[in-house]
Amino acid sequence: MGRLDDLRDNIGEYFQSAELLFKQGLNNAAFMMYFKTLVAMADYILWRDLKVLPDNHSERFRLLKPRYPDLYNILSYYFPYYRDTYTKRVDDRILVAIRNDVIRFKEKIE
């Protein structure tokens, strides 16, 4: 199995996990997995198109911003909420919003 296949499988696994957690009402865990799904999609696109995998979020954002502004804007919007999930509860509206964005972007890369 190649790197691109591994990244695609990660997207599916993270998304499935997020959906299960969402249905169970485990909102913070679901949000974290939806965010990981977005990150995995970003890494998939960066590897597919540029053969580059970022080492951290800063590098990921730097690579995405000029080339994939839609995905950059979504990731950068949710990043503070992702960091906050360690100490705060995620708002239901933000959870539903990230879920919808993940579904929308997931359809674009399938």
Please write the tens of the pLDDT for every residue from 84-100: 999 999 999 999 999 99
Q: Which residues contact 100 (CB under 8 A, 6 or more apart)?
A: none
pLDDT tens string 14-73: 999 999 999 999 999 999 999 999 999 999 999 999 999 999 999 999 999 999 999 999
Tell me, rounded to whole angstroms, the distance of Cα 34 from its chain centroid: 5
SS3 1: coil
Model's pTM, two decimal places? Answer: 0.94
SS3 51: coil
pLDDT tens string 69-87: 999 999 999 999 999 999 9
Structure tokens at 16: 């499935």
